[in-house]
Amino acid sequence: MKTYSNHQLQRYPIYLNYLRELFDSGSEYVSSPQIAEKLGYSEEQVRKDLANVSHESGRPKKGRSVRQLIRDLEIFLGYRGSSPAVLIGCGRLGRALLNYPAFESMGLEIKAGFDVDPELVGKTIEGKRIYPMSELGRVIREKKVMIAIVAVPVDYAQEVVNLIASAGAKAIWNFAPTLIDVPEGVVVENVDLASSLAVLNHRLNRMLESSHPRID
Amino acid sequence: MKTYSNHQLQRYPIYLNYLRELFDSGSEYVSSPQIAEKLGYSEEQVRKDLANVSHESGRPKKGRSVRQLIRDLEIFLGYRGSSPAVLIGCGRLGRALLNYPAFESMGLEIKAGFDVDPELVGKTIEGKRIYPMSELGRVIREKKVMIAIVAVPVDYAQEVVNLIASAGAKAIWNFAPTLIDVPEGVVVENVDLASSLAVLNHRLNRMLESSHPRID
């Protein structure tokens, strides 16, 4: 299996988004230069990226089939299958994630929520049953869950991750704003809002400085 | 002003997180090799990154002052000031963001929410007043808002971004899972959960393949 850098992988959902928009607006064919121009990538880059995931090389003058490209990208990204997942931590952020409509189109299916709060345990929130942490292992095994989404406060994140790993899930999608250690055989991806905000702040300040240059 | 790549910028909140943990656990000094080992970066990288934001070069044997590094990183990342912001779209995700506790420590202060839903407008959610979209320009001007957080459904995202730009905000933090166009003089940063999940799926599949190699 070819290994992709994060940077490379992050472009694929963006291609997919754009192609779905094209499809919805009735376009049947698209060219690499057209994709490159719209997304701000080089043509070379677009051709390379798409060659990695699709045998659809397109017809001269017409371009590539939008429908075929969408299909190939969905398969590559694992959106065609269904990935059973659980969500740990049903506070505000957790509840937003429990029923985030876009997850469905990404093949992510949250089977159950988990929380330590006795007020929440046993309830059904956003159509999903909330279990106590003691049931984590059983639910992961029974529902063949691979992915655990962590949306607990920072102070509990590592402890919860240890529980998840020993319960047998193989992938952790971490929304707690902290670094976590995972044992071998478990992969982790952090959704780091702090980093994202840092990037935005930096761009904003650079833009403001360039529009009002300081006179030294 | 020095320009940093996204990749570079994204490391700074991670340094800050780790240093805050050290500080909380009572450590007064830290060395570059120690940081490098904990975070998995090269020592060279850590030294370069920290030299960009801090004059604190440390004392031989003792290392750098944790407190001073935290201060310098917070200033660099804009966490020391206060960034007034508004949030557009007070659905599930929007409400999670309205009172996300970590924003406070990043200097982000959400002043108000906006929504089109007449059921929400006029209410106070998570301590923040929800206004109709028609008040966007006035609130942005009066509260000197620079940052608008977009948490609306995909189909409304571009329309809302156009409103924000004409109302005078300069930075858009986009949580809608779609690409948006912004006019010159406005910066944008996307929080793209689809890309993040693609990275996780890819790592998971690679790990599963390597632990159960196919026999061809």
Instruction: Name the residue range of residue B43's domain.
Output: 6-77
Q: With respect to residue A200, please indicate whether it lies within any of the assigned structural domains.
A: no
Same domain for A116 and A184, yes or no, is yes
Q: With respect to residue B208, please indicate whether it lies within any of the assigned structural domains.
A: no
**Contact criterion met (CB < 8 Å) for A92 and B93:** no
Q: Is there a contact between B38 and B31 (Cβ–Cβ < 8 Å)?
A: no
CATH of the domain at B68: 1.10.10.10
Q: With respect to residue B215, please indicate whether it lies within any of the assigned structural domains.
A: no
Alpha carbon distance A161, A183 (integer Å): 9
Sequential DSSP letters for chain A: -----HHHHTHHHHHHHHHHHHHHTT--EE-HHHHHHHHT--HHHHHHHHHHH-----BTTTBEEHHHHHHHHHHHTT-SS-EEEEEE--SHHHHHHHT-HHHHHTTEEEEEEE-S-TTTTT-EETTEEEE-GGGHHHHHHHTT--EEEE-S-HHHHHHHHHHHHHHT--EEEE-SSS-----TT-EEEE--HHHHHHHHHHHHHHHHHHHS----
Q: pLDDT tier at A63 (50, 70, 90 boundaries)?
A: confident
Q: pLDDT tier at B44 (50, 70, 90 boundaries)?
A: confident
Same domain for B126 and B186, yes or no, is yes
Alpha carbon distance A91, B100 (integer Å): 10
Same domain for A118 and A167, yes or no, is yes
- Check CB contact of A75 with chain B, cutoff 8 Å: no
- Check CB contact of A178 with chain B, cutoff 8 Å: yes
**Residues A119-139: tens digit of each pLDDT:** 999 999 989 999 999 999 999
pLDDT of amino acid A69:
93
Same domain for B71 and B95, yes or no, is no
Q: With respect to residue A213, please indicate whether it lies within any of the assigned structural domains.
A: no
**Contact criterion met (CB < 8 Å) for A146 and B204:** yes
Mean pLDDT of chain A: 86
Residue of B193 and B161 predicted with greater confidence: B161
- Average pLDDT of span A165-181: 90
Q: pLDDT tier at B192 (50, 70, 90 boundaries)?
A: confident
Same domain for A64 and A92, yes or no, is no
Same domain for B69 and B98, yes or no, is no
Q: With respect to residue A112, please indicate whether it lies within any of the assigned structural domains.
A: yes
Same domain for A120 and A164, yes or no, is yes
Same domain for B51 and B88, yes or no, is no
Sequence-distant contacts of A154-158: CB under 8 A, at least 24 apart = A154/A178, A154/B102, A156/A89
- Average pLDDT of span A9-21: 83
Q: With respect to residue B213, please indicate whether it lies within any of the assigned structural domains.
A: no
A1, A191, A195: residue with CB nearest B193:
A191
Q: With respect to residue B214, please indicate whether it lies within any of the assigned structural domains.
A: no
**Contact criterion met (CB < 8 Å) for B96 and A99:** no
Q: pLDDT tier at B28 (50, 70, 90 boundaries)?
A: very high
Least confident of A87-91, A93-97, A99-103, B163-167: A99-103
Neighboring chain A residues of B96 at a CB cutoff of 8 Å: 92-93, 95-96
- CA angle (B131, A95, A159) in 5-degree steps: 130
Domain end call among A56, A77, A98: A77
Same domain for B99 and B187, yes or no, is yes
**Contact criterion met (CB < 8 Å) for A100 and B77:** no
CATH of the domain at A156: 3.40.50.720
Q: With respect to residue B142, please indicate whether it lies within any of the assigned structural domains.
A: yes
Same domain for B66 and B106, yes or no, is no
Count the domains in chain A: 2
Domain end call among B48, B77, B106: B77
**Residues A99-121: tens digit of each pLDDT:** 777 787 788 999 999 999 999 99
Q: How many CA atoms lie within 13 A of B90 on its CB side?
A: 27
**Residues B3-18: tens digit of each pLDDT:** 777 667 778 888 888 8
Same domain for B112 and B71, yes or no, is no
Q: How many residues does chain B have?
A: 216
Domain end call among A77, A109, A135: A77
Structure tokens at B59: 């004392």
Same domain for B89 and B189, yes or no, is yes
- Check CB contact of A125 with chain B, cutoff 8 Å: no
Q: Does the pLDDT value for residue A58 go beyond 70?
A: yes
